[in-house]
Amino acid sequence: MSRLIVISNRVSVPKAAGAAGAQGGLAVALNSALREHRGIWFGWSGQETEEFTGHLNMQRIEGVTTATIDLEPQDIDEYYNGYANRTLWPLFHYRIDLTEYDRNFGEGYERVNARFADSVLPLIEPDDLVWVHDYHLLPLGSMLRQKGVKNRTGLFLHTPWPPTRLLVSLPFHERLVSSMLEYDVIGFQTQEWLESFIHYVSKELGLPITEDGTIDYGGRRIIARAFPIGIDFAEFVEGANSAEAREAHDRLKASVRGRKLMIGVDRLDYSKGLGERFESFGRFLTDNPGQAGDVVLLQIAPPSRGDVASYQQIREDLERKTGHINGAHADVAFVPIRYVNRGYPRSHLAGFYRAADIGLVTPLRDGMNLVAKEFVAAQDPEDPGVLILSQFAGAALQLADALLVNPHSTEHVSETIKRALEMPLAERRQRHEKLLASVCDEDVQHWREEFVAALFGQAEGGGADDTG
Ligand code: GDG
């Protein structure tokens, strides 16, 4: 078996099952992948250093070797807070109104990608497969090639890929996308993002796409494919059956005192549609005065990217909206929105999901969305809750038996909440069964195996495993 070198912006050390903290979806998925694969996970430590040295901090934790570097404050400003999170993240989530273009960000992004390439280079051995993750590191593959790396390299993008008409608003977009074409495999969450990418490559770069869907780049064939990410189903179900999960479940159930419970769990991010979600719930309360005291929304939203102004803005916005809606609909013994700005251990989350009658997952745009899948996995199959899911989450393509909504329409979401609350048990079970089958079969192991097979298949010289 070839060794795997995983490269991502941050390296997140595996955590014990019950550990607290808001690990992002990427961290959760990669911990699980690396547990089974011998290999190294390389990335930024999250620490600052006055002057970049490229010194590798190596650690071995639970069978995974991690190698990290520290970055200079200017790197963090321009690459991480700048180009990655003020330029690419909003653009890739269709928010050109929030997208900032600054020459220094672009230069910082390229400088840090080059620093990543220089630092990881001595760790790469001839037979290793190199698997790069996400929008922070799009040009890394081409920088590794320039430094003589001949290994098979792949990129998986966790975010959406924007339509060509939006992407062309990015200065130097051709340079950025061309740099991605040094990877052998480029993976997207869904067919939709893949099609947008292919559209760009063919229309803007004029490259031929072969009949089997590969990109012909100067005679080299690049596999571009959808690999929908999943959750670690077995681990999650085990956590959901733990004593801590049961205790968290019972505590939350007792606190709502027989009322119906809706749950949302999201990093505090404008792409997650939290403001629209709160407004939709406010509308439901206004439109259904008879039910207003009977439904509680628990929104868990651990802060993220707090150094970026648009994230400070969303936080203020949500505080205002929560205050407004609670002010209008609360009673002496009842507050409709419980808005919590902190993270919980995963096992507690599982208990909370299970206690909820409705999972409200309404991003305006999301590469995949793992919360939707976790909500399904945590339900009691005999008496399952209902998943309300945005049609704009990548997950909607696999979870078509959820109640799909347009998160921009407060009217639609409000009516769907009503429908979910009234859904008969037989329909809930029927929908849940189908959702569960998808979440269980297309789990994170499946995702990793498919990606590595595509990467390795090429290494063997035939694209042998490029099925589906
Ligand atoms: C990116 C893409 C894609 C949240 N609060 C707590 C907590 N979480 C965990 C959730 C879930 C993860 O964070 C969030 O994953 P998502 O997929 O929902 O979203 P992003 O962070 O935006 O992830 C996304 C993903 O990458 C994977 O490819 O699906 O589209 O944007 O696992 O449970 N975990 C803990 N406490 C919390 O309070 N422990």
Residue 87 Cβ < 6 Å to ligand 1: no
Query: So what's the pLDDT on residue 28?
Result: 61
46 residue type, one letter: G
Beta carbons within 10 angstroms of residue 206's beta carbon: 7
**Whether the predicted pLDDT of 27 surpasses 90:** no
Q: Residue 372 Cα, ligand 1 centroid: separation in angstroms?
A: 10
Measured CA to CA, the distance from residue 244 to residue 351 in angstroms comes to 8
Query: So what's the pLDDT on residue 32?
Result: 65
Q: For residue 465, what pLDDT band results from cuts at 50, 70 and 90? A: very low
Stated pTM of the model: 0.94
| Residue whose entry in the numeric block shows the structure tokens 């039910």 | 291
Mean pLDDT of 142-164: 97
**Whether the predicted pLDDT of 152 surpasses 80:** yes
3-state secondary structure of 343: coil
| Residue whose entry in the numeric block shows the structure tokens 């949500």 | 318
Q: Residue 283 Cα, ligand 1 centroid: separation in angstroms?
A: 27
Mean pLDDT of 17-43: 66
Shortest-distance atom of ligand 1 to CA 160? 30
Query: So what's the pLDDT on residue 162?
Result: 98
Give residue-wise pLDDT tens across range 199-220.
999 999 999 998 888 999 988 9
Measured CA to CA, the distance from residue 245 to residue 251 in angstroms comes to 10
Q: What share of the chain has pLDDT > 70, as a percent?
A: 93
Lowest mean pLDDT among 32-36, 287-291, 325-329: 32-36
Shortest-distance Cα residue to atom 23 of ligand 1: 25
Residue 455 Cβ < 6 Å to ligand 1: no
Q: What is the rounded radius of gyration, in angstroms, for the C-alpha atoms of the chain?
A: 22
Q: Residue 25 Cα, ligand 1 centroid: separation in angstroms?
A: 4
Among 278, 313, 316, 363, residue whose Cα is nearest residue 94: 363
| Residue whose entry in the numeric block shows the structure tokens 């910082």 | 108
Starting at the earlier edge strand, list the strands of the sheet with 185-188.
Answer: 57-61, 64-71, 39-48, 4-10, 129-133, 153-156, 185-188, 220-226, 215-217
Give residue-wise pLDDT tens across range 62-96.
778 899 999 999 999 999 999 999 999 999 999 99
Give residue-wise pLDDT tens across range 394-430.
999 999 999 999 999 999 999 999 999 999 999 999 9
Query: So what's the pLDDT on residue 23?
Result: 56
Give residue-wise pLDDT tens across range 121-134.
999 999 999 999 99
Measured CA to CA, the distance from residue 62 to residue 30 in angstroms comes to 13
ipTM exceeding 0.95, yes/no: yes
**Whether the predicted pLDDT of 388 surpasses 50:** yes
Mean pLDDT of 285-292: 91
Query: So what's the pLDDT on residue 292?
Result: 82
Query: So what's the pLDDT on residue 348?
Result: 95
Query: So what's the pLDDT on residue 458?
Result: 46
Mean pLDDT of 338-363: 96
